[in-house]
A and B are shown apart, each in its own frame.
Chain A
Amino acid sequence: MNADGDGRRGRAVPLCRMRGQVGSDTDMSNQVAFRDAPFQLRGSTFTMMVLKVSDPHNPNFFPVLSGKIAQAPNFFRNAGVVLDLDDLPAGMPFDMDAFCKLLKNLGLMAVGLLGGTKQQQDAALARGMALIAAPRGKVELFDPLAGTGRSPAQGLANVQGQGQPQAQAAPNPAPAPAPAPMPEPAPQRSAMVIAENVRSGRQIYAPGGDLVVIGSVSPGAELLADGSIHVYGALRGRALAGVSGDQGARIFCQSLDAELVSIAGLYRVSEDIGKDIRRRQVQIYLNNGYLHIDPLATNVA
């Protein structure tokens, strides 16, 4: 999601977390039986709309929502939505049944509840909705740069160890009481793909995953990703991978001429990037707390 914003946003919610849950890995007979089963049960990732409800009793709630839907009726027709009631003031009465019926009138299907209190979860289950564990860092994942004044530079720590105290991303907010019917799998990652040149002044953040740019990145542009960054073109701007602290994140580019590269807060500015690797295909990674910039093998020969 880039900083320009986008009216229609979705968030990836791992809807099904069953992979590896049916039959234990050690139970061979069970696995064989499963292979012959007349169905396949697999995990898959969908982009779901999450409806974050903060004031359902506001008389404008449904008119405004209806207006939003009218902007893209085909997109919203019979679309499933996951309800997120975390912003509901504590103790505010919430009639799950009535609310979902009103949503239905607008053509939206409430299919699940994200987090929520015990009472809300019971109401959701009674309606046949699924309970969905709150993903990690849920609030930040949504639209991390809008209006919070938070800058990706918060993810930067000085190489000399003078990084500001809040250098690393703040710990995730306390997770909502998750129903957690199954153990949490490793976080799902999907790549954000930008198939154009990234101009000066543009800032693109790929929350929770990799960022792929098919094009060049101009000086003054900034790429950020929780995962790795791949640039199929010249990297002349800034690239910050692993901004939430993933030290395994890497940066790849076709031609390195970056203003700054950073992985998990360790950075190097353009001036400190050696001439020998400039304008070459490189990968940048962390090893033993050092930022390494290596030419890609194909370029060595």
Chain B
Amino acid sequence: MAKIITMTSGKGGVGKTTSSAAFGTGLALRGFKTCIIDFDVGLRNLDLIMGCERRVVFDFINVINGEARLSQALIKDKRVENLYILPTSQTRDKDALTQEGVGKILDELKKEFDYILCDSPAGIEKGALMALYWADHAIIVTNPEVSSVRDSDRILGVIQAKSRRAEQGLEPVKEHLLVTRYDPDRVEKGEMLKVEDVLEILAIPLLGIIPESPAVLKASNVGMPVVLDDKSNAGLAYADAVGRFLGETIEHRFIKPEKKGFLDRLLRRTA
């Protein structure tokens, strides 16, 4: 049975699109047929992060409006088998999304895919509501920082009130927390919230902690999901998060500051 996962946060700039690209690619690498949909109508970015911006002809909104077939708008990833991207329109706005239109497309995608990952726009307005309405799972992307945590708390409330599962009194949307841009050194110095602090406020299961890493920006700029960079901590952390999502028990890593000494580092790596 296909599952709809919504990547959301409330706050902007916390790494939703980066996480959608990495997480969706991670699912596909595990052999699941996965489609990532860009819901950020008017601020199209997923195609850039996925490196397929040169292949966009039709988009999500064209399909909703019946101007193109789904198969014409889906872009197959060239690197990873089973991975597809549904880009959005840059020239329209969120009003182009309708609950029925989105639902119809998701139903169609459900027949073909194992996972449908909805990359939500920031905010709690129409775009975000459309992205979360049909969700079975919600991954809340949060930075270890007070305003991000507050906004995540807000979006969790919205999910619990306005999703289809809430409206129809079904089993609630499964919530997962993904902490991104985590810098253990700054946490140690007290400049950044600890994971425990974030968990205390949000009180949802922790899916993963993605360390702050230069590999993320580099990956975005070359259009490669960071999970494909298996030399980066961030890439490995996303792969771990995918494993946990699929029910595996994997210990969290990259949450303690790296030891400074060369010998220490050598010992840690080989340990």
Contact = CB atoms under 8 A, between A and B. Distances in A.
Interface of A: 3, 149-151, 153-154, 156, 158, 162, 164, 166, 200-203, 219-222, 259-260, 267, 269-271
A267 B57 contact: yes
Given A203-B91, A267-B57, A271-B54, A154 B67 contact: yes
**Among B61, B69, B72, B96: residue with most chain A CB under 10 A:** B72
Contacts of A201: 42-43, 90-91
B99 interface: no
Contacts of A162: 72
Contact of A164 (B56, B59, B69, B92): B69
B229 interface: no
Given A153-B68, A164-B69, A202 B57 contact: no
Contact of A260 (B56, B65, B69, B72): B56
A269 B68 contact: no
B53 interface: yes
A186 B3 CA distance: 56
A259 B61 CA distance: 18
B58 interface: yes
Contacts of B55: 269-271
Contacts of A270: 53-55
B62 interface: yes
A49 B58 CA distance: 35
Contact of A200 (B56, B65, B68, B90): B90
Main secondary structure of the interface of A (DSSP, over half): loop
14 contacts: A150-B65, A153-B59, A154-B67, A156-B58, A156-B68, A164-B72, A200-B90, A202-B91, A260-B56, A267-B57, A269-B55, A270-B54, A270-B55, A271-B55
B51 to A, nearest CB: 11
Interface residues of B, number: 22
B44 interface: yes
A222 B68 contact: no
Contacts of B72: 158, 162, 164
Q: Which 8 A-B pairs have the closest CB atoms?
A: A220-B90, A270-B54, A271-B54, A203-B91, A153-B62, A153-B67, A222-B91, A154-B67
A220 B54 contact: no
Nearest to B93: A201
Given A151-B65, A151-B67, A164-B68, A220 B91 contact: yes
Q: Is the interface of B mostly helix, strand, loop or mixed?
A: loop
B3 to A, nearest CB: 30
A121 B62 CA distance: 42
Of B57, B65, B69, most A-chain CB atoms within 10 Å:
B57
A262 to B, nearest CB: 9
A149 B69 CA distance: 16
A269 B91 contact: no
Contacts of A259: 53-54, 56
Interface string B19-54: 000000000000000000000001110000000011
Contacts of B67: 151, 153-154, 164, 166
Contacts of B43: 201
Given A149-B65, A201-B91, A220-B90, A269 B58 contact: no
Nearest to A145: B91
Given A3-B91, A201-B90, A259-B54, A220 B44 contact: yes
A62 to B, nearest CB: 32
Contacts of A200: 90
Interface string B90-110: 111000100000000000000
Given A222-B90, A271-B54, 18 more contacts: A150-B65, A151-B65, A153-B58, A153-B62, A154-B67, A158-B72, A162-B72, A164-B67, A166-B67, A201-B42, A201-B90, A202-B91, A220-B44, A220-B91, A222-B91, A259-B54, A269-B57, A271-B55
A219 B44 CA distance: 10
A64 to B, nearest CB: 25
Contact of B91 (A149, A221, A260): A221
Nearest to A200: B90
Contacts of A158: 72
